[in-house]
Chains A and B, each alone.
Chain A
Amino acid sequence: MLVVKDLRTYFYTRAGVYRAVDGVSFHVNRGETLGIVGESGSGKSVSQYSLLRLIPSPPGKIVSGTAMVDGVDLLNCPLSELQKIRGKKISMIFQDPMTCLNPYMTIGDQLMEPLFIHDNMGKEDARKKAIIALEEVGIQSAETRLKSYPHELSGGMRHRVMIAMALITEPELLIADEPTTALDVTVQAQILDLIKALQKKKNTAVIFITHDLGVIAGVADRVMVMYAGNVVETAPTAKLFANPSHPYTRALLGSIPSMHERGQRLRTIHGMPPDLSKEIVGCAFAPRCPDNKEKGSCGTTKPELVAINSDHYVANCVGCVANKLQPLKNKGESNFSKISEVTL
């Protein structure tokens, strides 16, 4: 339902042009969950905020790209049209439940607000719907809770309210920006179950941004790995975990602590993500790549995404991925994945 092509979002700061998102393309199908993983600063949040044009401008600017939803280009349509899509077709759940509710409004008023704007609903109908929405997210005695102010609720409850707020207009696409990062593990699991259940019920597409690979494994149908403003690999969750084909993905998966290796140091990825204000030659991951022994630049052009089978795409880095893929090119796609599992 959402098709994004060549999205570039740059920040024009005093220190130079910061290429936060540099040519990202992806799509999400109805009812599907797309997980986006990556380190801090990899552009995962910025790419999603760009979709709704929520990037503070200046200094941010969407330089190029299209994002089509039902024939409307989110990135280039007039603002008035976008305002009808925001909160109606596409909703967002934010990271911090403490600051994303207005402290001066009752949660009832905040819940009903999108209904007044988008559905032209009467006060009584909106109230009923708000009560149902609160009950759906598992808040007890919803009717009295409508009159509470955000500070009277616990963090977990505020998060539920936020989710209820995002889902109350029954959006077709839900963007969840690290919705569980601020929560403890038990509440986290509840929230994830909640999002999943509501998704199934309403056939909502979900874009799930996180850096928690455990969460991704449990929630996402498909995963997109981002690094330095680019997509490095995208595949169905099971395939990605079984057969990570980009060195960055492998390094990322390798850094998950395992229960079987007690008493050993945790594995990390050495080095820091590249400075995005400088031009990157070739593969952005090259200086940290374990496969790249000389630590020099890897290739001269930006690696493009290539399919290694029908739904598994990887950035075709000249240094590592391409060499191993080359001899396989002539063979059929069926044994392609099988061989790549062995060789990579």
Chain B
Amino acid sequence: MSELVLDRIKTEKAEKGRSLWQDAWSRLTKNKAAMLGFGILSLFVLLAIFAPWIAPYSYETQDLVMGPTAPSASHWFGTDTLGRDMYTRVLYGARISLMVGFIATFVSLVVGVIWGTVAGFIGGRVDSVMMRIVDIMYSIPFILLVILLMVMFNSSNNTVNLLLLFFSIGAVEWLTMARIVRGQVLNIRKMEFIEACYSMGLSNSAIIFRHLIPNVLGPIIVYATLTVPTVMLLEAFLSFLGLGVQPPMSSWGILISNGVENMEEYPWLLLFPGLTFSATLFSLNFLGDGLRDALDPKASKD
């Protein structure tokens, strides 16, 4: 899923400023930590996509007689209290968690960047009104907001529920993004090269997409990589409340919270989902750092 999102961002800008992306890519490939993160993420994404074909067992078949067993050759990650194969469940959990993480972040990214850019670029009264709306939304407890959205549009259809989950989380997470972007845009808008752009006859949209957004990309990407784990944890919390993913479907968040309950007797229930989750977060952070450096032409040492 990560490539999908990245590709989408890339193709959006590709025809407008390809050289920036080409340069960024060549710089990114030289950053070992970022490439390691990228590799691990890609692996997880591939595993998640092909989970139904890779998984050795079904994620919902219970074996109450067997119960929880420690990791072995037949059950790599052991089995949970209901005798379900943990490896399979982690694989399926990856689908939900990664999807929530990336799609909800993408939603918040799009809304936040557009909102923040427009507010910062137009300025004046429009800016005041737009940012007061953000302030008002900030003052509403965000868990409450998500729960409200989820309850209001709740339906019996599982896919619809999942989509709703993405959008309600995204709808809450864009606020900080909008603030960050607006602050950056306000800074850059005052710089002389924007005026030079006007004097060359560029239209507002060309200035925003070709000149403003690439200049604020660094902080946006760093913040986006920080949003992904937040969103994954939020999903776990909502699922715990019964508003997110319904059992027997699993996500990393659910697996971890189950694991915590049985931590003392069956530590592998926490260990494996915990490890994969941490590995994902580390990879995201490395990749985010790498991307920020790669996208800043001034940071290159070559």
Instruction: Spell out A's residues near B (CB within 8 Å).
Output: 52, 54, 58, 82-88, 91-92, 94-96, 99-106, 108-109, 113-114, 117-118, 147, 149, 151, 162, 165
Whether A117 and B201, one on each chain, are in contact in the complex, defined by CB atoms closer than 8 angstroms, is yes
Q: Tell me the complex Cα distance, A340–B202, Å.
A: 49
Beyond the given A86-B201, A113-B210, could you list 8 further A-B residue pairs with CB under 8 A, ordered by the A residue number?
Answer: A86-B200, A91-B199, A94-B199, A99-B191, A102-B214, A102-B215, A104-B20, A105-B20
B198 / chain A contacts, CB cutoff of 8 Å? 52, 54, 86
**Are B201 and A103 in touch, CB under 8 angstroms?**
no
Chain B residues with CB below 8 A from A147, complex form: 19
> Hey, which chain A residues are within 8 Å of B193, CB to CB?
99-103
Q: Does B261 contact A (CB under 8 A)?
A: no
Interface size class of B (residues with CB under 8 A): 20 to 34
Inter-chain contacts of B211 with A (CB < 8 A): 102, 104-105
**Is B264 on the interface with A (CB-CB < 8 A)?**
no
B202 near A58: Cβ-Cβ < 8 Å = no
Residue of A nearest to B202 (CB): A117
- B201 & A83 in contact (Cβ 8 Å cutoff): yes
**Chain B 169-203 interface residues, beta-carbon cutoff 8 Å to A:** 191-193, 195-203
Which B residue sits closest to A151, measured CB to CB? Answer: B298
Which partner residue on chain B sits nearest A95 by CB separation?
A: B192
**In angstroms, how far is the closest chain A Cβ from the Cβ of B206?**
8
Q: Are B214 and A104 in contact (CB under 8 A)?
A: yes
A114 to chain B, nearest CB (A): 5
Q: Are B195 and A100 in contact (CB under 8 A)?
A: yes
| A118 near B196: Cβ-Cβ < 8 Å | no
Q: Separation in Å of the A244 CB from the closest CB of chain B? A: 33
With contact pairs A100-B195, A103-B215 given, residues A87 and B297 touching in the complex (Cβ less than 8 Å): no
- Residues of chain B within 8 A (CB-CB) of A54 are 195, 198-199
Cβ-defined contact, A91 with B215, below 8 A: no
Closest to B297 in A: A149
Question: Which residue from B197, B200, B202 sits with its C-beta under 8 Å from A91?
Answer: B200
List 6 interface pairs A-B (beta carbons < 8 Å), by A numbering.
A94-B196, A99-B191, A100-B192, A104-B211, A105-B211, A108-B19
Q: How far is the CA of A243 from the CA of B190 in the complex (A)?
A: 42
Separation of A103 and B298 alpha carbons in the complex (Å)? 8
Query: How does the 8 Å CB contact mask read for B116-143 relative to A, with 1 for contact and 0 for none?
Result: 0000000010000000000000000000
Complex alpha-carbon distance, A168 and B93, angstroms: 57
> Given contacts A100-B193, A103-B215, is CB(A113)–CB(B202) below 8 Å?
yes
Across the interface, name the chain B residue whose C-beta is closest to A109: B19
The 10 A-B pairs at the shortest CB distance, nearest first, are namely A87-B200, A87-B201, A86-B201, A100-B192, A92-B199, A99-B192, A149-B297, A104-B214, A100-B196, A83-B201
Interface pair B19/A106, CB less than 8 Å apart: yes
Q: A100-B193, A151-B297 are in contact. Are A87 and B199 (CB under 8 A)?
A: yes
